[in-house]
A and B are shown apart, each in its own frame.
Chain A
Amino acid sequence: MARKKRAKKVIVGMGTCGLSAGAQSAYDKFEEILDANPGSFELSRTGCFGMCFCDPLVEVRENGARVFYAKVTPELATEIYKSHIEGGKVLEDHVAYSRDAAGEGGTEADYLALQRRIVLRNCGTIDPESIEEYEAAGGYAALKKALSEMSPDEIIEEVTESGLRGRGGAGFPTGFKWSLAAKQDSDVKYVVCNADEGDPGAFMDRSVLEGDPHSVLEGMAVCGRAIGASFGYIYCRAEYPLAIRRLTIAIDAAREKGYLGENIMGSGFDFDIKIKQGAGAFVCGEETALFASIEGQRGMPRIRPPFPAEKGLWAKPTNNNNVETYANVPWIIVNGASAYAACGTEKSKGTKVFALAGKVRRGGLAEVPMGTTIHDLVFKIGGGIKNGKKFKAVQMGGPSGGCIPAAMDDTPVDFESIPATGAIMGSGGLVVLDETSCMVEIARFFLEFTQSESCGKCTFCRIGTRRMLEILTRITMGEGVPEDIEKLEKLGRQICETSLCGLGQTAPNPALTTIRYYRDEYEAHIDEKRCPAGACTALVDFFIDPDKCTGCTLCARKCPVEAISGEKKKPHVIDNDKCVRCGQCVTSCKFDAIYTK
Chain B
Amino acid sequence: MAQVKDQEKFTYRLWRYDGAPGELIPLLQSAQDHFGYIPRRAISYISSVTGIPESDVYGVITFYSQFRLRPMGKYVVRACAGTACHVSGAKAIIETIEDELGIEVGDTTEDGLFTLNTVACIGCCSLAPVIMINDDTHGRLTPASLRKLLREYRRREEAARSEGTGSQEAAGSRADGE
Which residues of A line the B interface, CB within 8 A?
A: 14, 16-17, 19-21, 24, 52-53, 55, 197-203, 206, 238-242, 244-245, 248, 251-252, 272, 274-282, 293-299, 314, 355-359, 363-364, 395, 398, 429, 431, 433, 437, 442, 445-446, 449, 453, 455, 583-584, 586-592
Residues of chain A lying within 8 A (CB to CB) of residue B139:
17, 20-21
**Bound Cα distance A445, B32 (Å):** 30
Return B2 CB to nearest CB of chain A, in Å.
Answer: 10
CB distance from B10 to the nearest CB of A (A): 15
Contact A296 B81 (CB under 8 A): no
* Cross-chain contact B21 with A296 (CB below 8 angstroms): yes
* Chain B residue, CB-CB nearest to A210: B123
Contacts of A279 in B (CB 8 A): 25, 28-29, 64-67
Instruction: Give the residue of A17, A431, A437, A445 whose beta carbon is less than 8 angstroms from that of B124.
Output: A17
In the assembled complex, B88 has its CB within 8 A of some CB on chain A? yes
Q: Which residues of B contact A590 (CB under 8 A)?
A: 143-144, 147
B26, B84, B92, B147: the one contacting A431 at CB < 8 Å is: B84
> Does the CB pair B22–A20 fall under 8 Å?
no
Q: Is B99 an interface residue (CB 8 A)?
A: yes
Q: Describe A's contact surface by its main secondary structure.
A: mixed
Task: Say yes or no: A280 contacts B123, CB within 8 Å.
Answer: no
For A20, what are the chain B residues with a Cβ–Cβ distance below 8 Å?
A: 124, 127, 130, 136-139
Would you list which residues of chain B between 72 and 122 have a CB under 8 Å from chain A?
81-88, 91-92, 95-96, 99, 119-122
- Alpha-carbon separation in the docked complex, A240 to B124 (Å): 11
Q: Are B65 and A21 in contact (CB under 8 A)?
A: no
B123 to A203, Cβ gap below 8 A?
Answer: yes
Residues of chain B within 8 A of A275, CB atoms compared: 4
> In this assembly, does B15 line the interface, its C-beta being within 8 Å of a C-beta of chain A?
no
Q: With A and B bound together, what is the CA distance between A201 and B128 in angstroms?
A: 10
Q: Which residues of A contact B123 (CB under 8 A)?
A: 16, 197, 202-203, 206, 239-240
A199 to B121: give the CA distance in the assembly, Å.
Answer: 7
B64 touches A280 (CB 8 A): yes
- In the docked arrangement, what's the CA distance between A453 and B81, Å? 13
CB distance from A197 to the nearest CB of B (A): 7
Residue from the set A19, A198, A294 with the largest chain B CB neighbour count within 10 Å: A19
Q: B63 and A591: CB pair below 8 A? A: no
CA distance A293 to B144 in the complex (A): 40
Which of B5, B120, B137 gathers the greatest number of chain A CB atoms within 10 Å? B120
Residues of A within 8 A of B6 (CB): 244, 277
Q: Closest B-chain residue to A262, C-beta based?
A: B1
How long is the Cα–Cα vector from A453 to B121 in the complex, in angstroms? 13
B56 closest partner in A (C-beta):
A297
Residue-wise interface mask of B (152-172) relative to A, using a CB-CB cutoff of 8 A (1 in contact, 0 not): 000000000000000000000
Residues of A within 8 A of B8 (CB): none
B91 / chain A contacts, CB cutoff of 8 Å? 583
Q: Which residues of B contact A356 (CB under 8 A)?
A: 126
Q: Are A200 and B82 in contact (CB under 8 A)?
A: yes
Whether a CB of chain A sits under 8 angstroms from the CB of B3 is yes
Nearest 10 pairs between A and B by C-beta?
A363-B126, A200-B82, A20-B137, A357-B125, A52-B126, A279-B64, A296-B24, A280-B65, A201-B83, A203-B123
- Contact partners of B19 in chain A: CB under 8 A: none
> A198 is contacted by which of B25, B26, B120 (Cβ under 8 Å)?
B120
Inside 8 A of B64's CB, which chain A residues have their CB?
A: 278-281, 299
Establish whether residues A53 and B143, one from each chain, have CB atoms under 8 Å apart when the complex forms.
Answer: no
Interface bits B60-72 vs A (CB < 8 Å: 1, else 0): 1001111100000
CB of B178 within 8 A of chain A? yes
For A364, give the chain B residue with the smallest CB separation.
B126
Contact yes or no, B84 A357, CB < 8 A: yes
Question: Does the CB pair A293–B25 fall under 8 Å?
Answer: yes
Contact of A357 among B59, B66, B83 (CB under 8 A): B83
Cβ contacts under 8 Å, B87 to chain A: 358-359, 431, 433, 437, 442
Taken together as a complex, chains A and B put the C-alpha atoms of A334 and B121 apart, in Å, by 35
Please indicate the chain B residues that have their CB under 8 angstroms from the CB of A241 in the complex.
Answer: 135
Chain A residues contacting B28 (CB-CB under 8 Å) are 279
Min CB gap A545→B, angstroms: 13
**Count, A-B residue pairs, CB within 8 A:** 182
Given A200-B82, A296-B22, A298-B59, is A24 in contact with B178 using a C-beta cutoff of 8 Å?
Answer: yes
Q: A238 to B76, alpha carbons, bound, how many Å?
A: 14
What residue in chain B is nearest A283 (Cβ atoms)?
A: B63
Residues on B with C-beta less than 8 A from A272 are 1
- The contact of B120 among A21, A282, A395, by CB within 8 Å, is A282
Q: Is the CB of B138 within 8 A of A248?
A: no
Decide: B121 and A587 in contact? CB cutoff 8 A. no
- A198 cross-chain contacts in B, Cβ below 8 A: 120-121
Beta-carbon contact of B121 and A201 below 8 Å: yes
Q: Which of B23, B65, B67, B135 has the most A CB atoms < 10 Å from its CB?
A: B65
CB distance from B78 to the nearest CB of A (A): 8
Q: Are A17 and B126 in contact (CB under 8 A)?
A: yes
Complex Cα spacing A198 to B22, Å: 22
CA distance A216 to B167 in the complex (A): 39
Are B3 and A252 touching (Cβ within 8 A)?
A: yes
Which residue on chain B has the smallest CB distance to residue A277?
B29
Using Cβ atoms and an 8 Å threshold, which residues of chain A touch B121?
198-203, 239
Q: With the chains together, A20 CA to B138 CA distance in Å?
A: 5
Whether B47 is near chain A, meaning CB under 8 Å from some CB there, is no
CB distance from A442 to the nearest CB of B (A): 7
A277 and B32 CA atoms in complex are apart in Å by 13
Q: Would you mind naming 8 contact pairs between A and B with Cβ atoms under 8 Å apart?
A: A201-B83, A202-B125, A245-B178, A281-B65, A298-B59, A357-B125, A431-B125, A588-B96
> In angstroms, how far is the closest chain A Cβ from the Cβ of B56?
8
Task: Give min CB distance, B157 to chain A, whole Å.
Answer: 21
Which residues does chain B contribute within 8 Å of A589, judged by CB atoms? 143-144
Starting from the known contacts A239-B121, A355-B126, A586-B92, 9 additional A-B residue pairs (CB-CB under 8 Å) come to A16-B123, A20-B138, A241-B135, A279-B64, A295-B22, A358-B125, A363-B128, A446-B83, A584-B99
Min C-beta distance of A31 to chain B, whole Å: 14
Q: How far is the CA of A73 from the CA of B84 in the complex (A)?
A: 25
Q: A510 to B9: give the CA distance in the assembly, Å.
A: 44
Assembly CA distance A244 to B6 (angstroms): 10
Assembly CA distance A462 to B133 (angstroms): 32
Contacts of B128 in A (CB 8 A): 357-358, 363
Given contact pairs A24-B178, A298-B59, A358 touches B92 in the complex (Cβ within 8 A): no
Contacts of B124 in A (CB 8 A): 16-17, 20, 52, 203
Closest to B27 in A: A296
Q: Which residues of B contact A437 (CB under 8 A)?
A: 87
> Interface centre among A206, A357, A584, by most B CB within 10 Å?
A357
Q: Please measure, in the bound complex, the distance between the C-alpha atom of A241 and the C-alpha atom of B178, giving whole angstroms.
A: 10
